[in-house]
Amino acid sequence: MQNATRHIQELTRRPSPAPRIQPLALHEGLLWMGSWDTHHIYGVDPQTWTVKEDVAAPGQPFGIAPLDGALHVVVSLGGDDDDRYLFRFDPGSGFDLGSETPCPDMTGSHLASDGRQLFLGQMHNRRIVTLDAKAQITSEIPLPTSCGGFGFGPDGTLYMIAADDDFEKLEIGTLDRSGKFDVLAPIDFGARSLVYDGSAWFTSDREAGFIVSFTL
């Protein structure tokens, strides 16, 4: 990894609609987010910061991303094994419980989409995998560090929040398909999840209870 050459510039820091927001996604003009504590999904207008949808999830939400006109959500259904599943979520209609599909190896957290397929982070397996329509692995990217979130930015480049094993030192940078991570800037708060709206990034300062937008 190279040394960071930039600093992030915070644009906004706004209260989360619920405690411990982890996953973030942009879809149909709303910023969608899931709470670890309430097990709800919230659709928030990023301009007025008002909640437009508030829907109970089947379990604890870990990742969320749009694809094929819907949102796809990584959910833990609880239990001793903390198994993870993918569900389809249609704004205005709710979760399709019949879409429940096990994640590969029953594990996964952060989720992103490049508009063609889903990318699922499996930190314990030290990889990001791409999934087909049946949630089968089609390729994988090795993770060189712990991962606090990832998303696609300018020119379709994959960006990631890298962290040490204790999640005390966070950095944002680019990740290529071979697993090479290039640091762009340090992050001085507990950022989780990463999504780009075309001009700025959004992340969750999860434990502090804020949603932060920033540029590089």
pLDDT in the model for residue 1: 45
How far separated are the first and last CA of the chain, in Å rounded? 18
pLDDT in the model for residue 4: 61
How far from the centroid of its chain's Cα atoms is residue 43's Cα? 15
pLDDT in the model for residue 47: 95
**CA distances in angstroms from 106 to 94, 135, 142, 164, 165, listed in the order given:** 23, 11, 18, 24, 22
- Could you give the CA distance from residue 201 to residue 195 in angstroms, rounded to a whole number? 6
Of residues 158, 203, 163, the one with CA closest to residue 177: 158
Q: Token pair for residue 115?
A: 């508009």
What are 30's strand-pairing partners? 27
pLDDT tens track of the chain, all 216 residues? 455 668 999 999 999 999 999 999 999 999 999 999 999 999 999 999 999 999 999 999 999 999 999 999 999 998 788 999 999 999 999 999 999 999 999 999 999 999 999 999 999 999 999 999 999 999 999 999 999 999 999 999 999 999 999 998 999 999 999 999 999 999 999 999 999 999 999 999 999 999 999 999
